Amino acid sequence: MADPIEFWFDFTSPYGYLASERIEAVAERHGRELVWRPVLLGAIFKTTGGAPLTEAPMKGPYSLHDFARSAREHGIAFAQPATFPVGAVAAKRAVVHVRGDAALADRTAALVHATYRAYFVEGRDITDVETVLDLAAGVGVDRDALRAALGDRAVKDALRVEVETALERGVFGSPTMALGDELFWGNDRVDMLDRWLERGGW
């Protein structure tokens, strides 16, 4: 069976958001399953010494300009949030929970999109648990059941495992698309992944 496309991302990542709006078309075109895998970039950066792009001298202003430019190119709505970066741990736990529940798993993509758009289009506070529950309810996830799940040890552990797995697999940034061991890092690489699948690698 063909490898799925694993889409590793953080909700605070502008390029992750942009890629999230484009990756499904690539997966569909090549008949690949898509797996949404949230990580905590803050935890990864502790291991790698990485830092948010926007905080780097010179690279910061360039990045802010490029987020908006890259969005415009693809006709994706985008507004840099005033509060940035954010951890949004509950939002990520919600994704892991929904993805892991057979009855809810088909809502995972919708929840990811709703959360990303809430942050990068509407400027909502996705670190707020009530907002997370609202977004989940909007895609058909029961609010009270999710509220309980967000406190579950198993759900917390599941997100921790995502981060550990990311580090083991060599994922150091968002978005990173993995096809087996082959990693494609960055929004720019959505196109490369598309060509890779088209040509069967090179």
Q: Which residues bind a second copy (CB under 8 A)?
A: 47-50, 56-59, 61-62, 65-66, 69, 72-73, 167, 170-173, 183, 185-186, 188-189, 191-192, 195, 202
Shortest distance, position 59 Cβ to a second copy, whole Å = 5
Shortest distance, position 47 Cβ to a second copy, whole Å = 7
Residue closer to a second copy, measured from CB, 53 or 96: 53
Question: What single-letter DSSP state applies at residue 82?
Answer: S
Cα Rg for the chain, rounded, in angstroms? 16
Residue closer to a second copy, measured from CB, 60 or 140: 60
Geometric angle at alpha carbon 122, from 101 and 86, rounded to 5°: 65
49: its two tokens: 């010494």
Shortest distance, position 194 Cβ to a second copy, whole Å = 12
Q: In what order do the strands lie in the sheet with 182-185?
A: 34-38, 5-9, 176-179, 182-185
Residue closer to a second copy, measured from CB, 26 or 112: 26
Chain centroid to Cα 89, Å, comes to 12
Determine how β-strand 182-185 pairs with β-strand 176-179.
antiparallel
Residue closer to a second copy, measured from CB, 43 or 109: 43
Shortest distance, position 109 Cβ to a second copy, whole Å = 26
Residue closer to a second copy, measured from CB, 29 or 69: 69
Contacts of 33 (CB under 8 A, 6+ apart): 4, 5, 27
Describe the chain by its helix, strand, coil percentages, rounded to 5: 55, 10, 35
Shortest distance, position 4 Cβ to a second copy, whole Å = 20
